[in-house]
Amino acid sequence: MDKITEFFIATLTALGAMGAFIIKKLHTRMDRVEDKIDDMENKLLTRDDIKQISDTQTLILQHLLEHRATENTDVHK
Protein backbone atom coordinates (compact mmCIF):
# COMPACT_ATOMS: atom_id res chain seq x y z
CA MET A 1 0.00 0.00 0.00
CA ASP A 2 2.90 2.31 0.77
CA LYS A 3 4.31 1.80 -2.75
CA ILE A 4 0.93 2.67 -4.31
CA THR A 5 0.78 5.91 -2.34
CA GLU A 6 4.33 6.86 -3.40
CA PHE A 7 3.52 6.01 -7.02
CA PHE A 8 0.32 8.07 -6.86
CA ILE A 9 2.17 11.07 -5.38
CA ALA A 10 4.94 10.78 -7.98
CA THR A 11 2.36 10.59 -10.79
CA LEU A 12 0.48 13.62 -9.48
CA THR A 13 3.74 15.55 -9.12
CA ALA A 14 4.78 14.68 -12.68
CA LEU A 15 1.37 15.65 -14.07
CA GLY A 16 1.45 18.90 -12.12
CA ALA A 17 4.92 19.72 -13.40
CA MET A 18 3.88 19.00 -17.00
CA GLY A 19 0.75 21.11 -16.59
CA ALA A 20 2.74 24.00 -15.15
CA PHE A 21 5.27 23.75 -17.98
CA ILE A 22 2.54 23.81 -20.64
CA ILE A 23 0.74 26.75 -19.00
CA LYS A 24 4.01 28.67 -18.74
CA LYS A 25 4.77 28.04 -22.44
CA LEU A 26 1.29 29.16 -23.49
CA HIS A 27 1.47 32.25 -21.32
CA THR A 28 4.88 33.16 -22.75
CA ARG A 29 3.59 32.76 -26.31
CA MET A 30 0.55 34.89 -25.54
CA ASP A 31 2.82 37.62 -24.17
CA ARG A 32 4.91 37.53 -27.34
CA VAL A 33 1.82 37.71 -29.54
CA GLU A 34 0.47 40.65 -27.53
CA ASP A 35 3.82 42.44 -27.90
CA LYS A 36 3.78 41.85 -31.67
CA ILE A 37 0.23 43.16 -31.92
CA ASP A 38 1.17 46.25 -29.91
CA ASP A 39 4.13 46.88 -32.22
CA MET A 40 1.91 46.52 -35.29
CA GLU A 41 -0.71 48.86 -33.85
CA ASN A 42 1.97 51.47 -33.23
CA LYS A 43 3.02 51.28 -36.88
CA LEU A 44 -0.49 51.53 -38.34
CA LEU A 45 -1.67 54.83 -39.76
CA THR A 46 -5.16 56.15 -39.18
CA ARG A 47 -7.23 58.06 -41.72
CA ASP A 48 -6.39 61.29 -39.89
CA ASP A 49 -2.66 60.56 -40.20
CA ILE A 50 -3.02 59.90 -43.93
CA LYS A 51 -5.06 63.10 -44.38
CA GLN A 52 -2.36 65.15 -42.61
CA ILE A 53 0.32 63.62 -44.85
CA SER A 54 -1.78 64.31 -47.94
CA ASP A 55 -2.39 67.92 -46.86
CA THR A 56 1.33 68.40 -46.27
CA GLN A 57 2.18 66.97 -49.68
CA THR A 58 -0.38 69.27 -51.31
CA LEU A 59 1.10 72.29 -49.53
CA ILE A 60 4.63 71.36 -50.64
CA LEU A 61 3.49 70.78 -54.22
CA GLN A 62 1.71 74.15 -54.32
CA HIS A 63 4.80 75.91 -53.01
CA LEU A 64 7.04 74.19 -55.56
CA LEU A 65 4.68 75.05 -58.42
CA GLU A 66 4.52 78.70 -57.31
CA HIS A 67 8.31 78.79 -57.12
CA ARG A 68 8.51 77.19 -60.57
CA ALA A 69 6.35 79.97 -62.01
CA THR A 70 8.68 82.64 -60.62
CA GLU A 71 11.83 80.74 -61.56
CA ASN A 72 12.18 82.38 -64.97
CA THR A 73 11.84 85.92 -63.65
CA ASP A 74 14.91 87.62 -62.28
CA VAL A 75 14.10 88.73 -58.74
CA HIS A 76 17.48 90.43 -58.23
CA LYS A 77 16.92 93.35 -60.66
Instruction: Write down the domain spans for the chain.
Output: 23-69
Mean pLDDT by 10 residues, the chain (77 residues): 91 96 92 90 84 92 84 64
Per-residue pLDDT, 11: 96
How far, in Å, CA of 3 to CA of 68, rounded? 95
Per-residue pLDDT, 74: 62
Count the residues in the chain: 77
Per-residue pLDDT, 61: 92
Distance spanning both ends of the chain, measured CA to CA: 113
What burial class does residue 7 get, using C-beta atoms within 10 Å of its C-beta: 0-12 exposed, 13-18 middle, 19+ buried?
exposed
